A and B are shown apart, each in its own frame.
Chain A
Amino acid sequence: MPSLCRDCLTRFETGRRCPACGSPRVLSHPELFDLSIAHMDCDAFYASVEKRDNPELADKPVIIGGGRRGVVSTACYVARIRGVRSAMPMFQALKLCPGAVVIRPRMQVYAEVSRAIRVMMEELTPDVEPLSLDEAFLDLSGTTRLHGAPPAVMLARLVKRMKDELGLTGSIGLSHNKFLAKVASDLDKPRGFSVIGKAETADFLRDRPVRLIWGIGPAAQGALEKAGIRSFADLLRWERRDLHERFGAMGDRLYDLARGVDRRRVSAHAPIKSISNETTFDEDTGNPEILDGHLWRMSEKVADRTKAKGLAGRVVVLKLKRADHSLLSRRLALREPVQLADRIYRTARGLFDQVEEKGPFRLLGVGLAELCPEAEAERSGDLLDPDAAQRGRAERATDEIRRRFGKDAIRKGRALR
């Protein structure tokens, strides 16, 4: 069986240890050198960066997240042993792991590291589709001749380089499509390298739960369970037509995925569907002034990102989380796409004013959806708001000042609330 040493990258035929370096970190799989779609997922990315930069933290439980009130964005493996998971509220994480070192995320640092990893990945193939700062799909089809080595070797070399040059570890999933590659990368984290071959796909999936599918959350799971679908085997009993009738487009996708079929391409330029920002407050609040300040800051952040990407959006979304963590969201489809923070804020503010509940809330978010090119944005004014054009010009001028002298060079009073 084709085998590969993950330490010295020697290729050989079957053996439990590498014949060259004696390492036990050996990968063996009948299709090892034939598969080319991969998913790379860094191990506890934020926490690993922090541990790398501060070796004293090495064996301590580390949680990255926003203060006592926020949620866990990443927990290192030491903290995970105690049951801490990402997206868990911080108070709960600290209950499970009282000795944890909580660190506020340093997004700029993570973004830099992420860029370095991206450069390494792009040396392997132009088809890199980042999903976030710490994970990406790679399509290495047709690169064997170029690199003089099959994808599996290049991927093993990638994680080795990440470890040697950046001090970070990652896990690789290698398979014949995106769905299975993503599933594979999660199979033996951390420092994992898992392969799901074509021949074993059906056996592999059969008894696994459908929640394995990325995008099947609790709600979809509930709907599927009502139809008696828990595992892939359950799905296989359904005709495509029936799945489509019951679940729409998702039904079609489920039919294919149940058979291990996923035709989505790895695309370096996956279109962005929405842009949003949210913040969890230090303490729950129903104070309209404070909420208004958050509303403005979130709108401005969304506008900044939207402008940076040359986009605009037709739908403004307002998201509020009540003290009991339940979610309240409102959306408004506008007659024309918007990009300016002023327009996003005013729309979100209108939605906010229509919410009859007075709080307290623990989180506020603003988003923009149904994106389009910025040329289509703000093409007509509002008869009833003749000052809008002037405010728009003021915002553009402010942007220019911020671009030249830094983000905090000029701010609205509202932002200080």
Chain B
Amino acid sequence: MKISIERGTLLKAVAQAQSVVERRNTIPILANVLIEAEGDTASFRATDLDIEVVDKAPAQVERAGATTVAATTLHEIVRKLPDGALVTLTADSAAGRLTVEAGRSNFSLATLPKEDFPVMASSEYQSNFSANAAVLRRLFDKSKFAISTEETRYYLNGVYMHVAEADGLKVLRCVATDGHRLARIDAELPAGAEDMPGVIVPRKTVGELRKLLDDDEQAIAVSVSETKVRFATPTITLTSKVIDGTFPDYSRVIPQNNTRRLEVDAADFAKAVDRVATVSSERSRAVKLQLDEDRLVLSVNAPDSGAAEEELAVAYADERLEIGFNAKYLLEIASQVDRENAVFLFNSSGDPTLMREGNDLSAVYVVMPMRV
């Protein structure tokens, strides 16, 4: 195999590959990227056995062929090459080496045979549809903060993407929760997605997917089966196993009868929470909210380190209420709000609280209070 490829194009493809590769690997070939050259494209494939990414890049192919080489090393080399350089990759299978040449730089890297590289088995997808990058970005960006890291409840270690009904309309919905907070984000159901099985997209896949979604107008081809999910742009294909488990029935978690309504400027609110939480030394970082007519007092009282208080003008017309939250959780949900005011709906100081943006029901957050 011998190919020449522009440094920027190569860097993008290799960067995608090396981020899928697990840092600590017991199987040597999994640290490698599989490079395949044919026609006028080179494809770069990497996997951790759960996720596989294939990035196709235009290249001058002098000699077709394939090889595998350490993804992180190749990435580091290409990253350090000067911008605009033309990089030539030449595989010498007899010597088991890949030469990387650019200008006066010359590297020789150890390779492993391409036959040893595990290629993810292709499967039948029950549902294939197309969604705009902007739509998927919103669905995952606004839900991923709530993904759990707790391994005992592994079925929470991802975003539950499924078809649901909202106001009599079918929607594409993403839900994530760790038991302390929950995010439920809806988008218009793309044509062809009606029969999509609900799947739990793992945290790492959500992170990798994000890299495909920067261009608003880009159409993303989505394919879903019971066990796998695939997202593809014309150049990049991301295939991932989904979490084998049942996502809990989240609908009963979302409070329906919370009537005490607080409306507040989300940015002001987040800044105030952040400021008062500074004095909190414990890991729990509890912030107390005291609500009175059109008045919100945020306070932290940490006996070991100090106390802080801040008052905000808000819209609130219900009874006096005192309720505590983890400052980090409040900050995270408040930062999801980007257009209108944040609307909080409370019940009592022990019940879950609901938050949304204005009256927009397409993004709903629930957060559990904490004793203060």
A residues touching B (Cβ–Cβ < 8 Å)?
332, 335-336, 347, 350-351, 353-354, 376, 378-386, 389
Contact = CB atoms under 8 A, between A and B. Distances in A.
11 contacts: A332-B150, A335-B178, A351-B152, A376-B282, A379-B284, A379-B286, A380-B370, A382-B180, A382-B368, A386-B252, A389-B350
A197 to B, nearest CB: 43
A353 B372 CA distance: 33
B158 interface: no
Contacts of A386: 252-253
A383 B350 contact: no
Given A336-B284, A389-B350, A383 B152 contact: no
A347 B153 CA distance: 10
B198 interface: no
B352 interface: yes
Contact of A382 (B152, B179, B369, B372): B179
Given A376-B282, A379-B286, A380-B369, A385 B152 contact: no
A383 B177 contact: yes
Nearest to A353: B152
Contacts of A389: 350
Nearest to B325: A380
Interface residues of B, number: 26
Given A336-B284, A389-B350, A380 B152 contact: no
B253 A380 contact: no
Contact of A383 (B150, B151, B366, B371): B366
Contacts of B326: 380
A389 B352 CA distance: 13
A381 B179 CA distance: 8
B368 A380 contact: yes
Nearest to A380: B370
Contacts of B253: 383-384, 386
Given A332-B152, A380-B369, 18 more contacts: A332-B151, A335-B150, A335-B178, A335-B180, A336-B370, A350-B152, A354-B152, A379-B284, A379-B370, A380-B180, A381-B350, A383-B181, A383-B182, A383-B253, A383-B368, A384-B153, A384-B253, A386-B253
A378 B180 CA distance: 12
Residues of A contacting B: mostly: mixed
A384 B152 contact: no
B358 interface: no
Contacts of A384: 153, 177, 179, 248, 253
A345 to B, nearest CB: 13
B153 A350 contact: yes
B313 to A, nearest CB: 28
B159 to A, nearest CB: 16
Contacts of A351: 152
Contacts of B286: 379
A272 to B, nearest CB: 19
Nearest to A347: B152
Contacts of B153: 350, 384
Interface in B122-157: 150-153
Closest 4 CB pairs of A and B: A350-B152, A380-B370, A379-B371, A379-B370
Contacts of B180: 335, 380, 382-383
Nearest to B351: A381
Interface string B167-188: 0000000000111111000000
A272 B352 CA distance: 35
A393 to B, nearest CB: 11
B349 to A, nearest CB: 11
Contacts of B366: 383
A383 B352 contact: yes
Contacts of A332: 150-152
Most chain A CB atoms below 10 A, which of B178, B286, B371: B371
Nearest to B179: A382
B368 A381 contact: yes
A379 B253 CA distance: 18
Interface string B65-99: 00000000000000000000000000000000000
Nearest to B182: A383
A17 to B, nearest CB: 60
Nearest to A348: B152
Among A351, A381, A383, chain B packs the most CB atoms within 10 A around the CB of: A383
Nearest to B367: A383
Q: Which residue, of A379, A380, A382, has the highest number of chain B Cβ atoms within 10 A? A: A380
A335 B180 CA distance: 9
A381 B329 CA distance: 14
A383 B179 contact: yes
Interface string B241-259: 0000000100011000000
A135 B152 CA distance: 40
A385 B179 contact: yes
Contacts of A335: 150, 178, 180
B179 A376 contact: no
A204 to B, nearest CB: 43
A336 B324 CA distance: 15
Nearest to A337: B284
B123 to A, nearest CB: 26
Contacts of B368: 380-383
Contacts of A383: 177, 179-182, 253, 352, 366, 368
B34 to A, nearest CB: 31
A332 B150 CA distance: 8
A378 to B, nearest CB: 8
Contacts of A336: 284, 370
A384 B352 CA distance: 11
A268 to B, nearest CB: 23
B1 to A, nearest CB: 42
A378 B368 CA distance: 12
Contacts of B284: 336, 376, 379
A65 B153 CA distance: 39
A389 to B, nearest CB: 7
A384 B151 CA distance: 15
Contacts of A382: 179-180, 368
A332 B352 CA distance: 25
A382 B366 CA distance: 11
